[in-house]
Structures are given as structure tokens and as C-alpha cells.
Structure 1
Amino acid sequence: MIVFNKAEYDRESPNRNIIPLTAELDEQGRLEIGGCRLSHLAKRYGTPLYILDEITLRATCKAYFNALKKFYSALSLPLYASKANSSKLLTALVAEEGFGIDVVSGGELLTALAGKMPASRILLHGNNKSWQELALALDHGATIVVDNSHDLQIISELVGNRKLPVSLMLRFTPNIECHTHEYIRTGKLDSKFGFGPEQIESIFKKLLACSWARITGLHAHIGSQIFELEPHRDLVGIMADAIQLGRSMGHPIVDLNVGGGLGICYVSSDDPPSIQNWVKNIAKAVTVSCERRKLSLPRLICEPGRSVVATAGVTLYTLGSQKHIPGMPSYLSIDGGMSDNPRPITYQSIYTAFLADYPTQKVIQEVILVGKHCESGDVLLKNLYLPKSKSGDILVVFATGAYNISMSSNYNRVPRPASVIVFNGHADLIQLREQPEDLLFYDIVPPRLSSLC
């Protein structure tokens, strides 16, 4: 059960809360976040509506930044994994908190640059980078995480007669198992990402002959929404061996990127490690592994995404139709669904939700919360218990700041929702709501068929 009492929130590690740090009840028992009543935001901006709490976001960034400074004696850099939620303002906020950013497409790279993220703190990932994406990274001086030989071939052609070395980081697959959904498990040997351990030495040798290539670091990522610490400790030992090999061959490897993956609370039974404990364990493992191999400490880089932004975000919906079936939970429909949150249908993800104006009233009904889309699988939540509800009530779903807006779509030609940021009683748009007519903008009718439209 959630208690809306800010004194009981874990302010040092917001990923261990289900709700944002500023969530509280007003005098009438209605939910507020960032000093803004949620039902008022729904009326002002419409629904579905993504809301981002600035205080929770900044507190999470500070937790990572401070933990790295406290537990690791050498240089460090936290990067925000922007695939979780990408926008100009979000980039600017994490940059101000001292973060870098990792991007996986030209669009995310352009967004990072537009958000004034220094190129020296940008890493370009991806298992199938295009010519254009790699050229953009080279032009701006971002570090390229080389995922495969295809990357190297394109880069070598793009470099041409350039004299400056290209900063590269090699991604490899450590063959480490972690307990999470198979679709977000990236460290196994059969993952689509990275070089296998048996390929590392040959890649090191190949790049020695490339005068333009400067390998500055190694990268590995084992998955997402992870609650275990042991896989990360195992990862560090494997990567330290690779650093030792690379340095012995003459590569100036100074960065060790352990990826991200720390889990968050979606429901009360979730129990992820704290940010401090996650960082402490990794920092200790890096230090011990390097001491054993007599290696100077690398700059420690991590790439949290979900655990930075998920808890800071919520989504508002307006309740619509209900369908009652004797002996079964009722279907309760919302004005959004799989187009603004595809995670339940993709990963069988579960969430916590309340009626925004009646969060503490006694529950009297079990419902299946469904979206408006033409799919039987468009189910946002099963076994949701609510007070008596009616059409027009506002529902808030917590921990939706990651992989909701970034994975949203226009399925059924439904426009994407607006997004606002809240802080000390103020709410500001950070992404506009699409309009139905916007979806026609890229439609083209060939001249020979123009009489049809």
C-alpha cells in the first residue's frame, strides 16, 4: 500500500519509490505532484498526458553523481541513456546535473546537441548505425561505440584523409546472464549487440593498423530492470581482462563503461538496489579487479536510463466506457492505451494506478484497465482495484517516465500525448500534443491518383 507522505519517501534513491518525491495529497485528499493538482493538469492540458517531476529527476541525477564521487577514487561520468525518454529539455536538465548522454540514432543525437549537451559527453550506440548517423557523430566529435565490423568499415570510408583520430569505444558481449525479460537482456552470447569475447583480440589487432582509430574505452551492457548486483560484479572482472589485453597491445584505453540496467519500483513487491549500493558495488569491483591486474584505474562510466527518469514520470488518463460481465472483473476503458504505453503488451509490464482525486478512498471494484485501440491485447492493467469510478474521472499511472513517450506510436492514427514538467506549483509544456490533422502531413497522393482524394 502506498502512503502519500513525503517524509517516508526514499529521497536518497528515488528508484526505490513508486511515486515521485513531490507526490502528496491536498486538503481535500486529491493528488498533487510538483505542487500541481493532477486533475487540474488534466483539465488544462487534456489527456492522455505525460507529467515529469523536475525535483525527482534532479534528485536521481544527484544520487548517481554523488555516489560515483563518494565510492570511486578515480574519474567517473554518468551518462543518461536517452532512449528511455528523449527531449531537448530533458537533455538540458541532465547536462546541467553533470551527466553525459548516450544516443542510439541520428534523431537522439540531434536532440542531444539541440539540448546543448557537449559533444565530448555524447556516445553514439547502435548495432546498425547508418552512414548518415556515423557521419553526424564524426562531424560533431561524439564518441562512437563500435558494435561490429560494419561500423568500422563505414567509419574507415568516412574518415578518408582526415588527420584527427576518431575516438572509439568497443562494445562486447560478456556472456553474462541476468534475470529480466528476454527482450531487454543484452549480455548473453547470442545477443544481437557487440563483439563476442573471442573476437576482442582480433579487433584490437585490426585497429592497430588503422592510424585514424583511437580506442578510448570498452563498453558492455547486460540488460535492463535488473535487481541483482552479482552480474555487474562479474561483468567488471571480464572487462578488466579486456582492458589489460588492449593496453598490452598499445591501445590507450582509459574508459570502462559498465552500461546501466538498475531496476525501479513499478509495484510494491519490487525491491531494487539503491543507487548508492549499485554504484558502491561496481566501484569496488572495478578497484579490486584493476588492483589485482596492476592496472591504473579507468574513468568509470555508467549509463542509467530507466532509473533516472521512470519514477519522475506519471501518465494521466480520463476514464470512459465500462463493460460489466457477470462473475468477472469489469472492463474499464481509458482514452489512451498501447499507443502511449506499449510496455504491457510488449513486456507484460505491470504498474501502480490510482484515481487522481480519490486515491485513498476504499476500493470496491476489481477492473481490467483497457485502452481504446482495436486490439484485444490493449490491456494496461489487470487486477486493478479502485473506488467507485465514473466516466470522466482522472486516473494516474505511476513510474511511466521511461519507455512510454519514447516508444509511443500513432497506432489507429491516434495522436501522441503532450508532455509537461512540474516544479513548485508551476507546469510547463515540454512537448506539444499532436493533432489528428498532423498525422496527414506526410501523406502523399501521387498526381495520377489525385482525383481520388
Structure 2
Amino acid sequence: MLPQERPPRAPADLNRINPAIWPRTSGRTDGALTVGGVDVRDLAREHGTPLYVLDEDDVRSRMRDYATAFSGSEVHYAGKAFLCKEVVRWLAREGLGLDVASGGELAVALSVGFPPERVTMHGNNKSAAELTRALEAGVGHIVIDSYEEIARLGHLAGELGKRPKVMIRVTTGVEAHTHEFIATAHDDQKFGLSLNTGAAAEAVRRVLALPQLDLVGLHSHIGSQIVDTAGFEVAARRLATLLVQIKDEHGVVLPELDLGGGYGIAYVEGDEAPDIKELADGLREIVTKVCSDAGLPVPRLTIEPGRTIVGPGGVTLYEVGTVKDVEGLRTYVSIDGGMSDNVRTALYGAEYTVVLASRESDAEPMLCRVVGKHCESGDIIVRDCYLPSDLAPGDLIAVAATGAYCRSLASNYNYLPKPAVVAVSGGASRVIVRGETEDDLLRGQL
């Protein structure tokens, strides 16, 4: 192992549950991790492992935080982060909207009676069937992503006698990475219509030429895991230039502006996460100033948080299977899940915080790599971490901040069933997504 790869030092307290990283209701009782007032040892006994644990109070409180901070604006939860029927019910009760990126995600929303007018349909290649279903359901907005989609949607809307509200997704040339943004021509990607090449302006012309479509605004998304508003300011200014062009060329003032999501959360010590009220105040100030400078009325603002709502409230629980010391390098801790329930480390190089969850320990820290049981050397959950040196098979470990994208990206690689999702609140747990069985894996085979 190269010296620069080694974490700088072990945590002062391996048993600490950092409230900036773990769910709001988490702590330790009699040494064991508790979430929502439930002992993780009881969760493991009742539901098995691996297990996704979702703190209902944490998630719903973050929904309320957004609704309060962005009062007067639209908050649409990005369903791709994690979506199931129960989460949709929480959104309905807390007054948020919902972004869907496929017909399947729309089906989840409609199955529990979520108001379709509070749904926005995204996607770079929406099929005719998906657009038809969205039109028939009466979704609130459809975000257009290509010239082909303009024609496709216009044709379908005409056939069905509908006039959907649409927004054009604009590639602004701003690519945000945590604290930095790169103001370059980021046009070499599949999403959106380029501002720099004139494609976005041409899309506006084509939509306005179709009476079947009601153009109400522009949409932008600049990246993920963003912790400040610098990139949003650049994007908003560039969108304002297009809004002015639309007004001058067509005499049309668009009433809505969607700046997307991508706000960051804390995964490990030292990570920053934006304060929601400060984020709201900052985005409002940006949009107000940009539009004032451009001589435009301030449009209605929409944002699309996903990770920041559901990510911190999620914990994944595993049982340790083997502990293998590779002398002079590190100890490999193998758990009963892996990249099939959390591919983010293998896919993105994501970092996570992990703790011994079934008990406390005063043993010396040992440098570990938490790995899964799949036939891949890249099957890594936590690349570098410290766990107690008395860690043993049968212990439970928990990985924090796994509420977003872990279950959504889960697979059946090596024919592992996907784990259950359990919601915890007030000392009780209930299954909100049933864990798969081997019968489920075989059911579709002929």
C-alpha cells in the first residue's frame, strides 16, 4: 500500500456516531447502534442482513425543511435517488412534488394516488408509451431533451387532445464538482440542448411553433454533490441570456425556471453539506438579481433535491463473514452483501463511514477495507476505514448515508437477492420494500 493512500489517522473514537453523517435519530444504547429508537441487532434478527434501514423521521423532517425554506417555490423530490410507494406517500403528506425519469417511476407514483399535477417527467429518451402515459395521467410538466422529443410529444399531444406544460432542458456549459465549477462547453453528453451551439434556442422555436405544447420555462442541472451556490449563479446568468433572447425574438416571457438539484451531503468526516435555509436564500437571491440585471420578471423557481432528502436517513446493515489480515497492508473485512446492494464505491469511487454496530469496542483501531462477497476484486463498499481490531465474524457493521442511490442502483449480480428496505420510527420497524428471495430470481425464467 502506498503511503499517500493511507488515511491520515484513525478516528479518536471508533464508537462515535457523528450526527452530521448518521440519521438524526441515531445513537448507541447499551453499546449497539440504534436508529429510530430500534436496536440494529433486533433489526438483523427480524429482517436479516444485508438490510437497508430508513429513518422515517429523518427523511420526513428533511422534506419539511425544504418545504419551509423554499416556501413560495416548488420543491420536487428527485425520485431516482430512492423511490417506493411509502416514500411517495410521505411526499404527498409533506406537500412536495416528484420528479420521475421513467414510466416505471411514474407508475409507482400513480399507484398510490399521488397528484399527477405535482409530477415532472424527465428523461433523455422517453418512449412514446411513456409520454402517452404521462399525457393521459396529466403530469404537471414534461422536460424536453431533444428535437425528436418535441416532434414526438407534439404528435402524441395532438392525438390525445392534450396541451402539456413543457420545459426545455438547457446545457449551460457549467459542470459542478463539489466546491468547484468548470465554466466550459460541456456539450459532449447525452442530456439537454446546448446553449452554446444554439440548439436550446432552436428548441424554443420548435416548441413555440406547436400549439399542442405549452412552453412555461427552462430547466438546468449542473452536477451532483454540490455544496455551494457558485455554479448555480453561473448557470442562472446563462439561462437569463436565453430568457432575454426568447422575449426579444418571440415576445414571450417564460414564467418558470428550474435549477435542478445535486446538493451534497456528508459521507465522511470533513465533508460539508449545505444548510437548506442558506441554500434557499442564496438561490432566491441569485435568480432575483440575475433577472433584475436582465430586465426580466422573476420566474417561479423550482428545485429538485433527492440525495439531501433521503441520503442521510439511510443506513445499510451487514454481518461480518470473514476477517482476513493481509500482512503489512490492511485487513479485509468481508460482509454478506456487496456491490449488488451498493455499487457506488465501485462505480464512482464513493466514500463512506462505517462502524461496528452490534457492540462498542475499546480495542485498537485496525486499517480495513470492507468488501463484498461478489466475484470481483473491485467489489468494495468502504475502501479505507478503521474498525476495532477485535472485529470478528458474526459482528454487525453499519454503513452511513446510504439512503440515496444504493437501493435504486441495486442488482442481482451473482444471483444475490436485493435486500429489504425497513422504515424505523418511534421504536418500531416495518418493511416498506420486501426483500427478494431465490424464488423471485427464478420467477421470470423459462
Q: Calculate the TM-score normalised by the size of structure 2.
A: 0.91
**CA apart distance, 1:55:** 1.1
**Counterpart check, 1:324 vs 2:325:** yes
Q: CA deviation at 1:163?
A: 3.8
Partner amino acid, structure 2, of 1:384: C
1:439 aligns with 2:441: yes
Work out the CA distance in 1 between the residues paired with 2:202 and 2:34. 57
Q: CA deviation at 1:5?
A: 8.7
- Once structures 1 and 2 are overlaid, which stretch shifts more, 417-426 or 355-364? 355-364
Task: Read off the aligned partner of 1:238 and give its amino acid letter.
Answer: R
2:176 match: secondary structure? coil
2:420 aligned residue: 418
Cα pair 1:262 1:278 within 8 Å, conserved: no
Given the superposition, is the C-alpha separation of residues 368 and 181 from structure 1 closer, same or farther in structure 2, using an over 3 Å criterion?
farther
Greater shift in the superposed pair: 173-182 or 348-357? 173-182
Q: How does 1:12-31 map to 2 (within 5 A)?
A: 17-26=20-29, 28-31=30-33
Higher strand share: 2
CA drift of 1:331 comes to: 1.4
> What amino acid is the match of 1:367?
C
CA displacement at 1:177 relative to structure 2: 2.7
Provide closer, same or farther for how the CA distance between residues 383 and 5 of structure 1 changes in structure 2, counting only shifts above 3 A: closer
1:384-425 deviation line (CA, Å, top 9, x unaligned): 211211111111100000000000000001000000101110
**Which residue of the partner structure matches residue 179 of structure 1?**
177
Find the aligned partners of 2:423 and 2:224 in 1 and give their Cα distance. 25
1:25, distance to aligned residue in structure 2 (A): 1.5
Q: 1:375 to 1:54 in 2, by over 3 A?
A: same
How much does 1:62 deviate? 1.6
3-state SS of paired residue (2:309): helix
Structure-2 residue corresponding to 1:111: 108
Instruction: Give the deviation of 1:251 after TM superposition.
Output: 4.1
Partner AA of 1:190 in structure 2: D
Contact 2:150–2:206 (CA under 8 A) maintained in structure 1: no
Deviation at 1:97, TM superposition (A): 1.1
Answer whether contact 1:49 1:317 (CA < 8 A) is retained: yes
Shift in CA distance, 430/400, structure 1 to aligned 2, threshold 3 Å: same
1:448 matched residue in structure 2 = none
Q: Does 1:381 align with 2:382?
A: yes
TM alignment of 1:275-314, pairs within 5 A: 275-314=276-315
What is the deviation of 1:199? 1.6
Tell me how far 1:282 sits from its aligned partner: 0.8
Q: Could you tell me how far 1:159 is from its partner in structure 2?
A: 2.3
Map of 1:450 onto structure 2: none
What is the DSSP-based 3-state SS (H/G/I as helix, E as strand, rest coil) of the residue aligned with 2:239?
Answer: helix
Contact 2:172 2:220 in 1 (8 A): yes
Q: Is the 1:215–1:252 Cα contact (8 Å) retained in structure 2?
A: no
> What's the % identity of the aligned pairs?
39
SS in 1 for 2:174: coil
Q: What residue in structure 2 maps to residue 13 of structure 1?
A: none
CA contact (8 A) 1:178 1:228 kept: no
Segment of structure 1 superposing worse, 253-262 or 160-169? 160-169
Q: Which runs of 5+ in 2 are unaligned?
A: 1-10
Contact 1:261/1:304, CA 8 A, preserved across alignment: yes
What CA deviation, in whole Å up to 9, does each residue of 1:189-220 have, x standing for no partner? 22211011112222222222211010112100
Q: Cα–Cα, structure 1 residues 234 and 152, in superposed 2: closer, same or farther, change >3 Å? A: same
Q: Distance in 1 between matches of 2:73 and 2:358?
A: 43
Aligned residues: 428
| Partner of residue 260, structure 1 | 261
2:164 maps to 1:166: yes
Give distance in 1, aligned partners of 2:210 and 2:43.
Answer: 56
Task: Name the aligned partner's letter for residue 132 of structure 2.
Answer: A
Deviation (angstroms), 1:186: 12
**2:338 matched residue in structure 1:** 337
Counterpart position of 2:78: 81
Partner of 2:142: 144
Cα deviation for residue 320 of structure 1 reads 0.2
Structure 2 equivalent of residue 43 of structure 1? 45
Are 2:178 and 2:264, in contact at CA under 8 Å, matched by a contact in 1? no
Query: Bigger shift: 115-124 or 153-162?
Result: 153-162
Give the superposition deviation at 1:269: 1.6
Q: Cα distance 1:100–1:245, how it changes in 2: closer, same or farther (>3 A)?
A: same
| Structure-2 residue corresponding to 1:315 | 316
Letter in 1 for 2:236: V
Instruction: State the Cα deviation string for residues 150-184 of structure 1 (Å, max 9, x = none).
Output: 211221231234444221111010001322599xx
| CA distance, structure 2, for counterparts of residue 309 and residue 359 of structure 1 | 27
Where 2:177 maps in the other structure, the secondary structure is coil
Equivalent residue number for residue 427 of structure 1: 429
Which residue, out of 398, 408, 430, partners 2:400?
A: 398
TM superposition shift of 1:4: 8.2
- Does structure 2 conserve the Cα–Cα contact (< 8 Å) formed by 1:186 and 1:221? no
| Structure 1 residue runs without a partner (length 5+) | 10-16, 70-74, 445-453
Aligned position for 1:240: 240
Question: Aligned partners of 1:370 and 1:3: how far apart in 2?
Answer: 19
CA contact (8 A) 2:176 2:224 kept: no
Q: Distance in 1 between matches of 2:185 and 2:115?
A: 29
Deviation at 1:60, TM superposition (A): 1.0
Q: Quick one: distance in 2 between partners of 1:117 and 1:293? A: 37
Q: Using the TM superposition, give the Cα deviation of residue 360 of structure 1 relative to its aligned residue in structure 2, in angstroms.
A: 5.7
Residue type at the aligned position of 1:101: L
Kindly indicate whether the alpha-carbon contact (under 8 Å) linking 1:255 and 1:300 is maintained by their aligned counterparts in 2: yes
For the residue of structure 2 that corresponds to 1:227, the secondary structure is: coil
Could you tell me the TM-score, scaled by structure 1's length? 0.90
Q: Using the TM superposition, give the Cα deviation of residue 82 of structure 1 relative to its aligned residue in structure 2, in angstroms.
A: 0.4
Q: Residues of 2 paired with 1:295 and 1:421: CA distance? A: 45
